[in-house]
A = this chain, B = another copy of it.
Amino acid sequence: MTRKLRMGMIGGGTGSFIGDVHRKAASIDGMIELVCGAFSSTAEKSISSGKDLLLPADRCYSNFEEMIQKEKALPENIRMDFVAIVTPNHMHFPPAKLALENGFNVICDKPITLTLEEATELKTVIDKSGKTFALTHNYTGNSMVKQARAMIKNGDIGKVRKVQVQYLQGWLATSLEETGQKQAAWRVDPKRSGIGGALGDIGTHAENLTEYITGLKIDEIAADLGIFGKGRTLDDDGNILLRLENGAKGTLSISQIAVGEENNLAIKVYGEKGSIIWQQENPNELITKWLDEPVKTYTPNGNGLYPEALNVSRIPAGHPEGYLEAFATVYKNFANHLLSLENGETPKTPDFPTVEDGIRGMQFIYAAVKSSNENSIWTKL
């Protein structure tokens, strides 16, 4: 590492869940320091949040426009290298576009934008800017997810035939949005969430994980979305059939009203010779099953792993890593990519989610809503 990268944050003011996650994830590996931010849509809160974070007053900005403009005016060795966007969905595209157009790299929470149109436009902006854009589909940062992907890529389980993926939560089983809980409030609001509710919030993670692990595109889906919470207009549950590009079939089930489920993202992939099972709540275990051999369970930094998995672990086998570490791996890979470019090294295929993943996510949301509105007709992504 030749230097620490400087991060400016948009959103993530005091009390925010995901802003704090991004800050912790960015800090674990010692490669990134927070240097400035526009932490809130209200200037006062933005500045007080920056103060809470011990930032100098002149790097706490009233809004993202000001931040981008003023940081740009700073000397190159002081100004931020990239912005991290951790706002609700409707506030992803505007700051991302502005930052890119002003020469800043961007790392952004998912789903990538409010609408599919914004997502495709963002791709154009990125391409034109020549800057780097990363999307925090954080679960791809888990060591055992890397192992699963490598095993499938290397043909260990043979041609994929069946996928079961789910992302189940229960936190919206009651009308939490009516209690003033902020995270709930914007997620059930189409103006801030977009046309998908659970679809955008967790469905895109399930979709992304499926394509990341299998290396296959989802070709078409048949969706039956549900709205169980009183007065809601966005899906809080969904059951979806999958057809993958290679002929594999499967199910994708999501819910935010599955009482008692915390963050139960899980995937099973069945191939012609073997199968893999991974569960986010018990992330340090990859269960694999085989035609003629006993069940084999892999662990981070444990025996028999591919380099793709070994590279990810920070600590020896048996020392559990979790959500923040996986998130941090996305940041680390993003940071290493930026440093490579800065140092004139030929950039590798980036090992972090990109705008392409973001567009896939939006296509997934749109196809699911369309299919569900037409009584679950098969719909291409």
Contact = CB atoms under 8 A, between A and B. Distances in A.
A28 B28 contact: yes
Contacts of A376: 222, 241, 376, 378
Interface stretch (A57-65, A94-102, A280-288, A345-353): A280-288
A318 to B, nearest CB: 3
A76 interface: no
Contact of A298 (B17, B21, B283, B294): B294
A251 interface: yes
A294 B284 contact: no
Contacts of A12: none
A303 interface: yes
A325 to B, nearest CB: 7
Contacts of A3: 54
A304 interface: yes
Contact of A258 (B237, B275, B295): B275
A257 B161 contact: yes
A317 interface: yes
Contacts of A314: 20, 24, 324
Interface in A2-47: 3-4, 17, 20-21, 23-24, 27-30, 34
Nearest to A164: B253
Contacts of A315: 17, 21, 323-324
B239 A291 contact: no
A313 to B, nearest CB: 11
B281 A320 contact: yes
A190 interface: no
Interface residues of A, number: 90
Contacts of A289: 170, 259-261
A311 interface: no
- Copy tally for this chain in the complex stands at 4
A1 B162 contact: no
A292 interface: yes
Contact of A28 (B27, B161, B251): B27
A152 B78 CA distance: 52
A239 B237 contact: no
Interface string A245-259: 000011101010111
B157 A259 contact: yes
Nearest to A163: B239
A228 to B, nearest CB: 5
Contact of A239 (B4, B20, B249, B316): B249
B28 A291 contact: no
A220 to B, nearest CB: 10
A224 B224 CA distance: 14
Contacts of A318: 169, 261-264, 280-281
A249 B275 contact: no
Contacts of A375: 378
Interface of A: 1, 3-4, 17, 20-21, 23-24, 27-30, 34, 52-54, 157, 161-162, 164, 166, 169-171, 173-174, 222, 224, 226, 228, 237, 239, 241-243, 249-251, 253, 255, 257-264, 268, 270-275, 280-284, 288-299, 302-304, 314-325, 375-376, 378
